[in-house]
Structure 1
Amino acid sequence: MKPHRRLISPRRWTPPPAAPEHGGTDGTSRFRIARRLATGGHGPEDVIFDRQGGLLTGLADGSIVRLDPVTGARTVLGNTGGRPLGLEPCADASVLVCDHDRGLLRVGPDGSVRVLVDEVAGSPLTFTSNVVEGPDGTIWFTVSTRRWDLEHYLGDIIEHSCTGMLVRLDVDGTVTVLLDDLKFANGLVLAPDASHLLVAETGGYRVSRYWLTGHRAATVEPFADNLTGLPDNMSLGSDGLLWVSVAAPRNALLDKLLPLAGLWRILLWNLPEAVRPKPTPLAQVMAFDLDGRLVHDLRASDGSYSLVTSVAEHNGTVVAGSLHESDIVVLDLASHDS
């Protein structure tokens, strides 16, 4: 890991006022764990179903593993030699991997690891976050921050560095930055018709739509704005919904400090970790239809699971992963609290 950057350069931003909760009495249902799947390691930061219904994840030791969501049977597909984050299963049985340390990789069915992109615009590529592949082999991926590492990612949220990117890798190897200055770019989903991408900005509390085709190509519009928490990895379910993990709720103190001069955030960041304000414990996932309407908002604050960084759905099975946990959890959608 890189050394801890004690000096931050805060950027001002006025976040939108926190919106009222969606729907119902409090807008939420219970984040209820039906069962757990042991990964054999720690930190299943991203979880995604492959084309056969198997569950893929990457672990802190560099392993890429496949789990049977029913039996829990575990197969190690390879090891990146770094820290895998976002994954994308491919038609040829390879897996695209955003590796925090090594860049954008492809892990072959034989376990071989090939580096696809390790620099952008002449600078080493770090903190690649999530990735998707189009029908023609075009690849898009996000870079969360160019200033901070995974261990100290909260520094970017407090600083609000706006150094995230959306990047395209063409089949001929050309690398193009499509969007820059993103607020901690994170989850990434390609629309079923490949007309647009959905991009999560963790530090902006939003998901945006980036058009790839038509008269709006290369433009951005809001998809789900002013969220109640910090969106992380996302996936498109077999139910046609966009599933969004929420790593933490918005912090009222940070919202107050972001529009102010940076001194207060510098002081906050340099407090000893033991006394620095902690995120409110929360496990949360949301699901939207592709018009941006909220369908599910599942939450729990009982400590049963923490820092949900990914969620995926396949044939009615919903699973969640976490940077801080060792197990993947299967959620119970059949018995929501009213």
Structure 2
Amino acid sequence: MAVCSPVTRPLTVLGVPGPGAEDVLVAGDGTVWTGTADGCIHAVDPEGAGTRRVVRTGGRPLGLEWLPDGRLLVCDARRGLLAVRPDDGHLEELVTEVDGVPLRFVNNAAAAEDGTIWFTDSSRRFGIEQWEDDLMQHTCTGRLLRRSPTGHVETVLDGLAFANGVALAADESAVYVAETALRRVRRVGLVDGRPLAGHEPGQAGRSSAPSDGGLLCADLPGYPDNISRGSDGLVWVTVAAPPDPALGMLQRSPGLVRTLARRVPQVAKPRPRRSVRVVAVDAGGTVVHDLGADAAGWHMATGVREQDGRVWLGSLAEPAIAWLPVDAG
């Protein structure tokens, strides 16, 4: 992907009563949903008229998605995969462990029409509080998982370099998953809701390289976080921060060097630079939109939803969500 400057758009910021509004999800009536670091799920009026706290999960909600039955699917980094009724906040645990091992870092998901859920576990070694350590250690222990409508869970891709955002193609012929550390989005072809040959569960191995070269896009202009399919049919990809040369060099270093880097004081570790950026690609990986905004008052876009020409953004770093228009007019 050719790196160029994004088209700048004005940014509208809406505060929420909690830190780190990491993802966004838009309901049919325009209400925007988000989860914050204090464990709360909020419903936000899109015109800034206020917010409503729906439930506190007791964990750390990240990715949000709609289930076919109208419930809110919540990727809780600490608790696992949850389902929440939006009217009364009733909460149900869907997946808390895989193969008898508790999930460590559930991050993002996409739900098919038949109820199949595709979701990521970013790391087997580090939790949400140490996400930067996983990037520096370059553990490549992330996974793309599939929960069938009957509740059976299996691993589709293993060895991912910080598995993150998930999205389905409009016709559900493919599932896409972001690898933050490698600045790319992987593509897994599907037939009848199952991975094509070469991506069968248990055959993916633990390599960080695609088993069949299946990439939607690579060499992104920064580190991708959540991704989603917009109302325009495009796959929208957040770019949480520009590439960091120091982080790249550390990831290429011997394992001992990466381990010792954990002992470096926090102030000396690589930190994300302030930016606001999001790109949209078609099914062939061609960039259709590359949008940015002034990052002085709000930064680090980690969640994205395009709805009728308005691009909603969440942020791991901000107590607010934001939106920008796709078109200048």
User: Which residue in the other structure is 2:184 paired with?
Assistant: 206
User: Which residue in 2 is equivalent to 1:242?
Assistant: 235
Number of residue pairs aligned between Structure 1 and Structure 2: 313
- Which secondary structure does the structure 2 equivalent of 1:286 belong to? strand
Deviations 1:51-71 (A, max 9, x none): 333211111121111122124
1:166 aligns with 2:144: yes
Distance 1:252-1:71 versus aligned 2 partners, 3 A rule: closer
Which of residues 288, 298, 306 is equivalent to 1:313? Answer: 306
Report the CA distance between 1:32 and its aligned residue: 2.9
Please say which of residues 75-84 and 254-263 is displaced more in the overlay. 254-263
- Match of residue 193 from structure 1: 171
TM-superposed CA distance for 1:256, in Å, is 2.5
Q: In 2, distance between residues paired with 1:32 and 1:263? A: 45
Aligned equivalent of 2:88: 110
Equivalent residue for 2:220, pick from 221, 224, 227: 227
From 57, 67, 71, give the equivalent of 1:90.
Answer: 67
Q: Which residue of 2 aligns with 1:13?
A: none
Amino acid at match of 1:193: D
Give the aligned residue type for 1:295.
Answer: V
- Matching residue's letter, 1:222: L
Q: Tell me the secondary structure at the aligned position of residue 134 of structure 2.
A: helix
The answer to whether residue 127 in structure 2 is matched with residue 134 in structure 1 is no
Distance 1:60 1:95 in 2: 18
Q: 1:321: Cα distance to partner? A: 0.9
Confirm whether residue 325 of structure 1 aligns to residue 318 of structure 2: yes
Kindly indicate whether the alpha-carbon contact (under 8 Å) linking 2:147 and 2:154 is maintained by their aligned counterparts in 1. yes
Structure 2 partner of 1:66: 43
1:76 aligns with 2:53: yes
1:293 deviation in Å?
Answer: 0.6
Q: Secondary structure at the match of 2:296?
A: coil
- Equivalents in 2 of 1:174, 1:216: separation in Å? 18
Tell whether the 8 Å contact from 2:310 to 2:323 is kept in structure 1 after alignment: yes
What 5-or-longer segments of structure 1 have no aligned partner?
Answer: 1-18
- Look up the SS of the partner of 1:212 in the other structure: strand
In structure 1, distance between residues paired with 2:293 and 2:235: 20
TM-score (norm 1): 0.87
Q: Tell me how large the CA RMSD over aligned residues is.
A: 2.0
In the other structure, the counterpart of 2:21 is 44
Deviations 1:74-130 (A, max 9, x none): 222222111101111224331011101110111123211111111111111121011
Q: Are residues 1:148 and 2:126 paired?
A: yes
Partners in 1 of 2:66 and 2:318 — Cα distance?
23
- Deviation digits for residues 178-218 of structure 1, max 9, x if unmatched? 11111111100011111110110111210011111179455
Q: Quick one: which of 280, 284, 295 aligns to 1:291?
A: 284
Name the structure 2 match of 1:279: 272
TM (norm. structure 2) is: 0.89
Secondary structure of the 1:263 match is helix
Residue identity over aligned pairs, in percent, reads 42
- Counterpart of 1:107 in structure 2: which amino acid? V
2:204 alignment counterpart: none
C-alpha separation in 2, matches of 1:77 and 1:92: 18
**1:182: which partner in 2?**
160
- For 1:249, what is the secondary structure of its paired residue? coil
Query: In structure 2, what is the Cα distance between the partners aligned to 1:184 and 1:276?
Result: 18
Task: Provide closer, same or farther for how the CA distance between residues 333 and 132 of structure 1 changes in structure 2, counting only shifts above 3 A.
Answer: closer
Structure 2: unaligned runs, 5 residues or longer? 200-211
The answer on whether the counterparts of 1:238 and 1:314 sit within 8 Å (CA) in structure 2 is yes
